[in-house]
Amino acid sequence: MIFLRCRNIVLFCCLLLTFNKLAVADILLSSSKEKLHEVIYKHPAQKDSSQMHQILFETEAKEFYMDVASVYCFEDVCKIDTIRIYWNRIGKYQRFELQAGIALEKANGELFTDQDYKKLHFILNEEDSPFKNIRIESIISTQGAEHSDVDGYSGATAIELDESVSIQGAVLTSYTLWHWANGDLVKQIRKITGEATNADDLLTYLRNSEADYKLFALEQLMVRKNFEARLIEEIKEQYKGNCLPLKRNIISYLESAPKEIYQNVMLDLFKSEDSKQRITCLQSLLHTNSNLSSDAYSKLYRQLNNMETYQEVDLFLSLLEKQSQELEARIAPLYSLLANSNILISRRAFWFLERKNASKEQQKLLNDFAKKNKDYL
Amino acid sequence: MKRRDFFVKGALGVVATSLLPVVANATPSSIDITLSDRSKDKWLQVGSGKQGIPNREQIVNADVLVIGAGMAGISAAVAAARNGAKTILVQDRPVLGGNASSEMRVTVNGAPQERETGIIEEILIENWVYNKQESYPVWDHVLYNYITRQPNLELMLNTQALEAIMDGDKIKAAICWQSTSETRFTLNAKQFIDCSGDGLLAATAGAEYRTGREGKKEFGESYAPDQADGWTMGDCIMMITKDMGRPMPFKAPDYALPFDHETAFKDKHRRIKQVKEGFWWIEVASEYDIIADREQNRHKLMAYFYGVWDYIKNSGDFPEAENIALDWVGSIPGRRESRRFMSDYILTQNDILNDPHFEDAIGFGGWSLDEHNPGGIENLKEPASYFHQKSEKVYEVPYGILYSKNIENLSFAGRNASLTHIALSSTRIISTCALMGQAVGTGAAICLQKGINPRELRSKYMNELQEQLLRDDVFIPNRPAKDSNDLAKSAMAIMASSTLSGDTKLLVDGVSRDRGEEIHHWEADGLDAELQLEWKKPVKISKVELKGDTNVLRRIMMHKNPQKNIQNEQILDVPPELIKTASVEARVKGQWLEVAKIEENITRLMKTSFDQVSTTAIRIKLKETWGAKNAKLFEIRCYS
Ligand SMILES: Cc1cc2nc3c(=O)[nH]c(=O)nc-3n(C[C@H](O)[C@H](O)[C@H](O)COP(=O)(O)OP(=O)(O)OC[C@H]3O[C@@H](n4cnc5c(N)ncnc54)[C@H](O)[C@@H]3O)c2cc1C
């Protein structure tokens, strides 16, 4: 989608100054309903290493925007336009706008076509673009500028840019704008919004249908170390979803909670039909060196017969191995694992049990197992 | 018996070859006489009071002899030695690195699409440990350290290979002259690898070669000239300057030649874009014999260079050069092209642009067809280089271009391989040359093990060579590893303590780097990550080998203008993704034992070896990286 919309003239005059260091006095000219935030950002395409003071505008609708240079180009031969980039409240790029009459240019002086603008929007919308990890000098060499160190000019390109991620003849513009839209400013917007939210807002964000909001809420909860029961309940609910990054962040959030809360929630999550989920819980318990409470033991043992995969059993036994006290009553049920048809599982149990005190009967079970499976031990 | 042949036999028997009668009409007899006849030389040892003829003859035996220690020769020698061959590396000058040494200071570039791994990468990373300051003289010694610590490898500096001693179509020995010790060496070996660029040894062996440019028709090369001619790409010298912080005058030496900048600047590549590090277009070539013309060309290059610098300093057009002074100017020109030795296959332009699959691929290239003009700076009418065309993807380099078609035990690697002139305009890039080197070094060692020569290796044992290269972390496009001795492939389960991206299964899929969107790695969520391989029945293991991450899309070479790397925010250190500390444990009878430790690791390929254990599981603990948050691997292998 392309937005070519005219804006309040006074505001725009002020915005055009963004590329010089802005004096706060200039900023006050802007519409009173918008909040201004002075932010500092070093754009990776900038020639000098000094950081730039930029003004980020926050609208009433809690959108953010900034007017930025369309391109930084080392050779001072590019036409630089001003382009306005919009983000939502959690720093996700939304769209861009150009002042009426302004059109972006490609390397050969051609103007951007409608198709190019569409592509640009598509590129900016892609958070994981290859631009993320490319240095400006690689882009420049793809453009054909010569690098004096190499034996010719094609050498400096560390990566070939696919047609789909860049606009022919406007790679530098794409690169420059991508870093405006998806660079460090995103963090700064999140920080601004984060500071203005309370727990209720975060609960709403957790329930938002978009994973990005949920992740934002978790990030904020982690920063605040907020583990209120109502939040925890919601988070457990959220763990049922399929979004892997969210699941991962939930585990990290829980791992930072007080021990009791952490263990309880983890064992609640462990009570699942899904072996992968159980593995994640066991991995976390193991990794955090958790000392299991008796309640925790009983919750774990309840799943003993459901453990189908070797990895689960291995993790479970490793977790037991780490516990300081061992009660006989907790060992006995494990003998059932010796009968498991998966040799990896039964063998793991055998080696675990072999090192425990065994009753006569148990010893016999162990001996029989060793005899029967001597080729596998 | 040929005269040279007799000579070696004699030498072996009598040791002091100077006692042998010299056959006056033998060619090249002049060399023999000056090197051997020392009857007038009476060395007086004052300490012992003894006088006599000093012994300046030595015979040394080796399995593999590598001539030339540019990055191709270094890679060849290290690969041969590591694969079990007793190897000698001779280098005619005092430092290592060839064009990449402090003598010429050429940047070690590689395929721009993705970086080479294997020996060349090891060296480039190691340089960041010893030489963060990016000093070329220190780099020479980084190479020296790297070479001299390799078991099985002997380095002979200041030693020039002069002539091959033949037994039919086989080389038996190389006659070498070590200028610093006045010693003439007869180096006997079973396999010979000429990585000297100019290939004097190979030429004296009678190996077939070409010089100049092929005509269009011969191989259907659209960028070749219509008619074949004698031009090669030229030689260059480089320079480095420093900013003195105050105006620095410059007076050109008497022999400087004026620079016709008006004509020169008509080509957009022939411009003064910086005043820090030399200009690749100050180049001089020859139409007939670039080797014979070497000294004249060196003088011309110096003259042209000082002419250009005079223009920069004294024309007034370059105020940015006001405080800049020359700090170093090369005295030995770097060379791009001379002899290209012919093999069973000749790589052409079409192989580079159309990227066909070679069953005998041993590595890859990726540079554009970057053909410098015939004549260099003496031909200002043509552009300094024709950047004909880029190869979009990396292209495969076959083993079939790396051994002599008529000398049985001779291989070559680097710029003197079996290429057309146009193909060389791409493959000459140093890391591409180094991959060729690693392949022929490994190939020579395999030849020795099997008692064969390279041609037979190619026809019968290519699979073995490719598997060894892949194991040693060379990337061969379209050739996944399928080593049947690798026990990791038969593990029943590979489990990870966590997985952030990729999959543990991909660690045994035979491809040790991601291919665009196609993932071949496993990445843990954080450190202190663990991997566990489980076998159903006990297996015997004494080696566990891992391949870590160095981000092959990032540049890692040093630069003669370190400021540039700083500006470009290049990482001037060991790649942060790489595993620094890890350990390997084996489960024996249900008990975990630590069998190997990896500490201060700086190589992508981490090889561990230990006393063989009979085990049902191996556990790898990845404890620390060089900065990255997560542990990431591309491969795991286990061997008996
Ligand atoms: C000015 C210039 C700029 C270049 N720029 C780049 C660049 O930016 N990046 C890039 O990757 N490539 C560049 N190249 C190309 C690259 O340098 C060469 O193609 C590459 O170095 C070839 O490697 P090699 O190992 O085959 O030979 P070399 O690097 O030439 O090494 C050959 C070695 O053999 C030794 N030798 C020669 N004869 C004998 C003998 N008879 N006995 C013993 N030793 C002998 C030599 O002293 C030398 O050390 C450039 C080349 C030149 C000339």
When pLDDT is cut at 50, 70 and 90, the band that residue B387 belongs to is confident
Put simply, the answer to whether B280 touches A347 (Cβ < 8 Å) is no
In a domain, A293, yes or no: yes
The enclosing H or E element of B624 equals: strand B605-625
Same domain, A327 and A343: no
> Is there a domain that residue A192 lies in?
no
A245 inside 8 A of chain B by CB: no
- Are B301 and B418 in contact by the 8 Å Cβ rule? The answer is no
> pLDDT digit string (tens) for B183-216?
999 999 999 999 999 999 999 999 999 999 999 9
Which residues of chain B make contact with A153, given a CB cutoff of 8 A? 269, 370, 387
Q: What is the pLDDT of residues B318-352, one digit of tens each?
A: 999 999 999 999 999 999 999 999 999 999 999 99
Residues B396-412 have a mean pLDDT of 98
Q: Which pLDDT belongs to residue A162?
A: 60
Is the distance from CB of B326 to CB of B239 less than 8 angstroms?
yes
Pair B156, B185: CB distance under 8 Å: yes
Q: What are the chain A neighbours of B274 within 8 Å (beta carbons)?
A: 148
Domain boundary among A128, A156, A186: A186
| A247 vs A253: CA distance, rounded Å | 10
Span B228-270, pLDDT tens digits: 999 999 999 999 999 999 999 999 999 999 999 999 999 888 8
Which of A140, A107, A163 shows the shortest CA–CA distance to B112? Answer: A140
A68 contacts A181 by C-beta, under 8 angstroms? no
Contacts of B18 (CB under 8 A, 6+ apart): B36, B37, B38, B39, B53, B56, B57
| A136 and A47 co-located in one domain | yes
CA distance A303 to chain B (A): 20
Whether residue A38 sits in one domain with residue A157: yes
Please check whether residues A120 and A47 belong to one and the same domain. yes
Higher-confidence position of A305 and B310: B310
Phi-psi region of B554 (alpha: psi -120 to 50; beta: other; left: phi over 0): beta
- Reported as type and span, the H/E element at residue A255 is helix A244-255
Distance from the A221 Cα atom to the nearest Cα atom in chain B, whole angstroms? 21
Q: Is the pLDDT of residue B11 over 70?
A: no
pLDDT for B38:
77
For residue A175, give the 3-state DSSP assignment.
Answer: helix
* Ligand 1 center–CA B256 separation, angstroms: 26
Residue A133 to residue B278, Cβ atoms within 8 A: no
- Whole-number Cα distances in Å, B1 to A8, A118, B16, B39: 98, 79, 20, 27
Enumerate the residues of chain B whose CB falls inside 8 A of the CB of residue A311.
493, 495
Residue B3: pLDDT above 60? no
- Is residue A113 one of the residues assigned to a domain? yes
Pairs of CB atoms within 8 A across A/B: 108
pLDDT of residue A19: 35
**Cis ω on the peptide bond leading into residue B28 (within 30° of 0)?**
yes
pLDDT of residue B31: 42
Residue nearest to atom 39 of ligand 1 (CA): B196
* pLDDT at residue B12 greater than cutoff 60: no
CA distances (Å), origin B328, targets A77, B117, B331: 33, 31, 9
Q: Nearest to residue B116, comparing CAs of B363, B351, B353, B396?
A: B363
Tell the residue number behind the tokens 């939210």, with chain if given: A197
> Of A73, A93, A101, A68, which is closest to residue A83 (Cα–Cα)?
A68
| Low-confidence winner among B26-35, B285-294, B404-413 (lowest mean pLDDT) | B26-35
* Residue whose structure tokens are 């070539």: B285
- Using the Cβ of B14 and the Cβ atoms of chain A, whether some distance falls under 8 Å is answered with no
Confidence bin at B292 (pLDDT 50/70/90):
very high
B157: phi then psi, degrees, rounded to nearest 5: -85, 165
* CA nearest to B213, candidates B229, B235, B197: B229
User: For B575-604, what is the HEC assignment?
Assistant: CCCCEEEEEEEEEECCEEEEEEEECCCCCC
Measured between beta carbons, the chain A residues lying within 8 angstroms of B531 are none
Does residue A54 sit in the same domain as residue A133? yes
How do residues B418-459 score in pLDDT, each as one tens digit? Answer: 999 999 999 999 999 999 999 999 999 999 999 999 999 999
SS3 for A233? helix
Angle at B70 between CA B64 and CA B71, to 5 degrees: 90
| Residue A252, domain member (yes or no) | yes
A235 touches chain B (CB under 8 A): no
Same domain, A15 and A159: yes
Q: How far apart are CA A371 and CA A363, in angstroms?
A: 12
pLDDT at A25: 32
Identify whether A191 is part of a domain.
Answer: no
Once rounded to an integer, what is the mean pLDDT over residues B476-492? 97
**A28 and A167 housed in the same domain:** yes
Q: What is the pLDDT of residues A322-359, one digit of tens each?
A: 887 777 778 999 999 999 999 999 999 999 999 999 99
Yes or no: say if B607 and B124 are a contact pair by the CB < 8 Å rule. Answer: no
Query: Regarding predicted confidence, which is higher, B154 or B15?
Result: B154
Ligand 1 touching residue B544 (CB < 6 A): no
Q: How many domains does chain A have?
A: 3
So what's the pLDDT on residue A151? 43
- Within 8 A of A376 by CB-CB distance, chain B residues are 536-538, 616
* Domain ranges (residues) in chain B: 59-213+337-471, 235-329, 487-639
Domain boundary (A186, A219, A246) is at A186
pLDDT at B26 over 80: no
| pLDDT one-digit tens code per residue, B552-581 | 988 899 988 888 787 777 899 999 999 999
Do B589 and A377 count as a contact with CB atoms less than 8 A apart? yes
Question: Residue B109: its chain A contacts at CB < 8 A?
Answer: 150-151, 155
**Dist. CA A64–CA A180, nearest whole Å:** 13
Query: Considering only residues 492 to 551 of chain B, which have any Cβ-Cβ distance to chain A shorter than 8 Å?
Result: 492-493, 495, 497-498, 500, 525, 528, 532, 534, 536-538
Distance from the A289 Cα atom to the nearest Cα atom in chain B, whole angstroms: 13
ipTM of the complex: 0.81
Q: How far is the CA of A130 from the centre of ligand 1 (A)?
A: 34
Which atom of ligand 1 is found nearest the CA of B109? 11
Q: Mutation test of ligand 1: which of B75, B88, B99, B332 has the most ligand atoms closer than 8 Å to its C-beta?
A: B99
Q: A376 and chain B: CB distance < 8 Å anywhere?
A: yes
Inter-chain residue contact A314 with B532, CB threshold 8 Å: yes
Structural domain including A231 reads: 197-332
- Chain A touched by B131 (CB under 8 Å): no
Nearest to A166 by CA among A114, A126, A197: A126
A157 in the same domain as A131: yes
> Which residue of chain A comes nearest to B616, CA vs CA?
A377
Same domain, A261 and A343: no
* Fold designation for B59-213+337-471: FAD/NAD(P)-binding domain (3.50.50)
Selected residue with higher pLDDT from B375 and B28: B375
- Please state the separation of Cα B189 from the chain's center in Å: 21
- Give backbone dihedrals phi and psi of B438, rounded to 5 degrees, phi first: -60, -35
Chain A's closest residue to B617, CA to CA, is A344
Min Cα distance B114 → chain A (Å) is 7
Minimum CA–CA partner of A342 in chain B: B536
CATH 3.40.50.1000 fits B487-639, yes or no: no
Contact (Cβ atoms closer than 8 angstroms) between residue B442 and residue B66: no
A84-120 pLDDT tens trace:
999 999 999 999 999 888 889 887 778 899 999 999 9
What would the two tokens of residue B153 be? 């490898």
Contact call for B280 and A148, based on CB within 8 A:
yes
Nearest CA residue ID for atom 37, ligand 1 = B196
Give me A373's structure tokens: 């499976």
What confidence score (pLDDT) does residue A90 get?
Answer: 95
- Chain A interface includes B391 (CB < 8 A): no
Residuewise pLDDT in 10s, chain A (377 residues): 333 333 333 333 333 333 333 333 334 445 568 899 998 888 887 766 667 788 999 999 999 999 988 877 665 567 788 899 999 999 999 999 998 888 898 877 788 999 999 999 999 999 988 788 777 766 665 433 223 334 443 333 334 456 666 777 788 888 889 999 999 999 999 999 999 999 999 999 999 999 999 999 999 999 999 999 999 999 999 999 889 999 999 999 999 999 999 999 999 999 998 999 999 999 999 989 888 888 888 889 988 888 889 999 999 999 999 887 777 778 999 999 999 999 999 999 999 999 999 999 999 999 999 999 999 99
CA A187 to chain centre: 12
Judge contact between B534 and B103, C-beta under 8 A: no
Q: Contacts of residue B368 in chain A, CB cutoff 8 Å?
A: 152, 154
Return the residue whose CA atom lies nearest to atom 45 of ligand 1.
B68
Ranges of beta strands (E only) in chain A are: 35-41, 52-58, 64-69, 82-87, 93-98
Q: Does A157 touch chain B (CB under 8 A)?
A: yes
CATH number at residue A302: 1.25.10.10
Cα radius of gyration rounded to whole Å, chain B:
26
My answer on whether A237 and A167 are in the same domain is no
Distance from CA of B464 to the nearest CA of A (A): 32
The domain boundary, picked from A153, A186, A219, lies at A186
Q: Which two tokens stand for residue B22?
A: 């010299």
Hey, what are B426's tokens?
């791409």
Q: Do B555 and A148 touch (CB under 8 A)?
A: no
**Which of A134, A138, A154 best probes binding to B when mutated, by most B CB atoms within 10 angstroms?**
A154
Distance B336 CA to ligand 1 centre (A): 7
Helices B430-450 & B119-130 angle (0-180, nearest 10):
120
Contact at CB, B368 and A152, closer than 8 angstroms: yes
pLDDT tens string B137-195: 999 999 999 999 999 999 999 999 999 999 999 999 999 999 999 999 999 999 999 99
Answer yes or no: do B495 and A375 touch at CB < 8 A: no
Residue type, A37: H
